[in-house]
């Protein structure tokens, strides 16, 4: 937003007008020389008030302990429309409609009736000293030139002389210092050449990046965009001498100078929307989702793509089946230890910095309720949470063990049984579904065959055990993968042509939803999870539970907000982050989601 400040002063029989053009929507009013609207009157405070201009008018807020007149009432804050005015010490400030080249005009009518007599009351003029102006002007001019320029410049030409000047009371190059250095750079001291490589020239980016080697440009240097040249210079935002305390205090005007009227540029791959303030003119949030890349009806890769949260058809394809509403049921869930009432913190735990959430694992978060049992006769035995081939192999080994040591333990003199003396055999009843196999085995053990069982060779026992174990393992695996365990939470496919026909599709979860913004859960600990995430009404894991901008606007407002948390652009958006700038926002995969994909595949 561009504002035109028009000063009108009374001089003689007419008025004198002076105009200043300001970029931004906030104007500081006061007697200080750093104020946008300068009122040179001792009755006015150095920083008296602040005027915030919006599309529908403006808002004026006085500094602590200060007041101004609005509609003949002494107030500390008010909202003014176009055409209305306020009065500060007889100076009238009026908000007018914009003219060509600006959005609004702020007209300042300066009153000098009370000001000038007060200013001159205790002043002594040069004429009162009865000195010759011209002679003393030349003397002072030559003295200033000699002490302030010629003598220090001689030290620049001769480093040894400069050292002597610095140790003496005579002026040295400190006379040229614009003010105190920023706190992190005070170690530089008097060595101006550390930053000012060329004398009497501003500091360039190369000098800054000689130390700050890892700091990235906000705009890709490979793109020749004249509109961004100013903001690729470090000094455009960072003042080395006499800086303000916090960069966030004045970051808004720098950001809005470009982003308030940001037009889409297909050639430069710029797709951002314009923004002027967070509370009323800020684009809806976009999230980064891992989406499958298909080829011949098969997933060959996953890539991160950007989507608007306002899209009603937005879903996450993660291969995970997880209904939040069931797990968050206030009545609780049945588990091995009784009814359990889950909370968000049972599964979701922030990292130390609060920026991301720790990974969820089967062993730590799910296994207490979802035990991977497969044999009713042995409820403590579970299969591993791993690859299907490992699960089926474990089942085959388990049932082969049961066949040998449960069916041959009647013959304690058998060589095969003796070979297993190190194992403790539990004579458990086999499940009823194998009753035919059990009966046929007992019928085979007649008086004639009992004598021959001792003659069974290891190969015979192994063959019969493998046949029985294979049958039992296939039945148990079919139940585990297709009905009672894996298929409950995972997408399971089957291919009968393979030795192990079941395939559990990998869970691919998005790790960083908002990579272009900085959000920390640490700063929101006073809130409940349900205040932002509507998990209790979510019936499927495909639901996107990231809150949109409307949720944030309940607490957060603009830099000038009085009834909301005031925020500037850099509170949520980084500046020196190359992967977050215009030209890389739409790259295929964000590195953190890449890491998430790798971790999910490993688990």
Question: What would the pLDDT profile of 474-504 be if each residue is shown by its tens digit?
Answer: 899 999 999 888 999 999 999 888 889 999 9
Is the model's pLDDT at 267 over the cut of 90? no
Q: State the Cα–Cα distance between residues 86 and 108, nearest whole angstrom.
A: 10
What is the structure's pLDDT at 554? 92
> How many H-runs (helices) and E-runs (strands) does the chain carry?
15, 20
Highest mean pLDDT among 224-233, 329-338, 444-453: 329-338
Hey, how many other C-beta atoms are within 10 angstroms of the C-beta on 202? Answer: 11
pTM above the 0.85 mark?
Answer: no
Lowest mean pLDDT among 183-187, 389-393, 404-408: 404-408
In angstroms, the first-to-last Cα distance of the chain is 51
Question: What would the pLDDT profile of 35-54 be if each residue is shown by its tens digit?
Answer: 999 998 888 999 999 999 98
What is the structure's pLDDT at 490? 92
Q: According to CATH, what is the number of the domain 2-119?
A: 2.60.200.20
Give the residue, 550 or 249, on which the prediction is more confident. 550
Segment 283-299 shows an average pLDDT of: 84
CA distances (Å), 167 to each of 147, 162, 170, 186, 463, in order?
A: 15, 9, 8, 19, 99
Give the residue, 85 or 268, on which the prediction is more confident. 85
Q: Tell me the pLDDT band of 5, cut-offs 50, 70 and 90.
A: very high
E-state strands within 217-347: 286-295, 298-308, 333-335, 338-340
| Residue 165 burial class via C-beta count within 10 angstroms: exposed 0-12, middle 13-18, buried 19 and up | buried
Q: Where are the domains of the chain?
A: 2-119, 153-241, 286-364+507-602, 388-484
What is the structure's pLDDT at 596? 45
Is the model's pLDDT at 9 over the cut of 60? yes
Question: For 416-453, b where at least 16 C-beta lie within 10 A, e where not — what string?
Answer: bbeeeeeeeeeeeebeeeeeeeeeeeeeeeeeeeeeeb
Question: What would the pLDDT profile of 185-202 be if each residue is shown by its tens digit?
Answer: 888 877 777 888 887 788
What is the structure's pLDDT at 174? 73
Segment 243-258 shows an average pLDDT of: 72
Segment 86-111 shows an average pLDDT of: 90
Q: What is the mean pLDDT of the chain?
A: 78
Give the list of residues 6+ apart from residue 445 with CB closer than 8 angstroms, or none. 453
Is the model's pLDDT at 515 over the cut of 50? yes
Helix or strand run (H / E) with residue 118: helix 115-119
Is the model's pLDDT at 424 over the cut of 50? no
What is the structure's pLDDT at 427? 45
Q: Do residues 443 and 451 lie in contact, with contact meaning Cβ atoms separated by under 8 Å?
A: no
What is the structure's pLDDT at 123? 63
Question: What would the pLDDT profile of 215-230 be if each residue is shown by its tens digit?
Answer: 777 766 555 555 555 5
Is the model's pLDDT at 417 over the cut of 50? no
As a whole-number percent, the residues of the chain with pLDDT over 90 amount to 19
Highest mean pLDDT among 82-96, 167-181, 255-269, 399-413: 82-96
Pick from 53, 136, 65: which is nearest to 96 by CA?
Answer: 53
Residue with tokens 């010629």, as numbered in its chain: 150
Segment 27-34 shows an average pLDDT of: 92
């Amino acid at each position: 937003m561009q504002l035109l400040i028009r000063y009108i002063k009374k001089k003689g029989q007419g008025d004198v007008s002076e105009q200043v053009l300001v970029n931004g929507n906030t104007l500081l009013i006061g007697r200080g020389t750093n104020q946008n609207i300068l009122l040179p009157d001792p009755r006015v405070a150095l920083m008296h008030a602040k005027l915030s201009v919006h599309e529908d008018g403006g808002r004026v807020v006085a500094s602590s302990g200060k007041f101004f007149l609005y509609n003949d009432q002494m107030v500390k804050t008010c909202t003014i429309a176009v055409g209305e005015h306020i009065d500060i010490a007889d100076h009238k400030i009026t908000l007018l409609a914009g003219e060509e080249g600006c959005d609004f005009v702020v007209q300042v009518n300066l009153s000098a009736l009370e000001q000038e007599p007060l200013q001159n009351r205790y002043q002594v003029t040069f004429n009162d000293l009865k000195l010759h102006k011209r002679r003393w002007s030349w003397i002072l001019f030559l003295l200033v030139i000699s002490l302030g320029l010629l003598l220090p410049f001689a030290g620049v030409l001769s480093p040894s002389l400069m050292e002597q000047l610095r140790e003496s009371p005579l002026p040295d190059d400190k006379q040229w210092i614009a003010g105190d250095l920023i706190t992190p750079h005070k170690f530089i001291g008097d060595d101006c050449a550390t930053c000012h490589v060329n004398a009497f020239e501003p500091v360039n980016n190369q000098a800054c990046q000689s130390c700050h080697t890892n700091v990235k440009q906000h705009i890709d240097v490979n793109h020749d965009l004249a509109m961004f040249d100013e903001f690729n210079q470090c000094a455009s935002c960072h003042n080395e001498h006499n800086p303000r305390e916090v960069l966030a205090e004045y970051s808004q005007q720098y950001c809005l100078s470009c982003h308030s009227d940001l037009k889409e540029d297909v050639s430069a791959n710029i797709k951002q929307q314009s923004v002027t303030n967070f509370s009323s003119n800020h684009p809806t949030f976009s999230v980064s989702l891992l989406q499958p890349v298909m080829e011949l009806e098969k997933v060959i890769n996953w890539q991160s793509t950007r989507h608007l949260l306002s899209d009603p058809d937005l879903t996450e394809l993660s291969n995970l089946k997880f209904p939040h509403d069931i797990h968050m049921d206030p009545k609780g869930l049945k588990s091995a230890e009784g009814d359990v009432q889950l909370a968000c913190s049972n599964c979701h735990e922030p990292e130390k910095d609060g920026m991301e959430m720790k990974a969820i694992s089967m062993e730590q978060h799910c296994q207490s309720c979802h035990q991977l049992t497969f044999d009713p006769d042995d409820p403590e035995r579970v299969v591993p949470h791993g690859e299907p081939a490992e699960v089926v192999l474990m089942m085959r080994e388990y049932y082969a063990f049961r066949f040998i040591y449960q069916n041959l333990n009647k013959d304690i003199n058998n060589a095969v049984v003796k070979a297993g003396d190190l194992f403790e055999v539990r004579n458990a009843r086999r499940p009823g579904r194998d009753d035919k196999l059990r009966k046929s085995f007992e019928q085979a053990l007649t008086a004639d065959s009992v004598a021959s069982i001792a003659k069974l060779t290891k190969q015979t026992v192994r063959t019969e055990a493998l046949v029985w174990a294979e049958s039992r393992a296939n039945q148990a695996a079919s139940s585990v993968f297709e009905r009672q365990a894996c298929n409950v939470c995972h997408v399971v496919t089957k291919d009968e042509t393979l030795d192990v026909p079941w395939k559990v599709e990998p869970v691919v979860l998005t790790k960083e939803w908002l990579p272009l913004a900085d959000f920390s859960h640490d700063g929101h600990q006073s809130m409940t999870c349900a205040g932002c995430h509507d998990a209790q009404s979510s019936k499927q894991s495909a639901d996107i539970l990231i809150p949109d901008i409307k949720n944030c606007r309940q607490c957060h407002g603009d830099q000038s907000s009085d009834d909301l948390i005031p925020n500037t652009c850099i509170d949520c958006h980084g500046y020196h982050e190359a992967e977050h700038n215009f030209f890389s926002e739409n790259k295929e995969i964000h590195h953190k989601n890449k890491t998430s994909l790798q971790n999910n595949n490993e688990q």
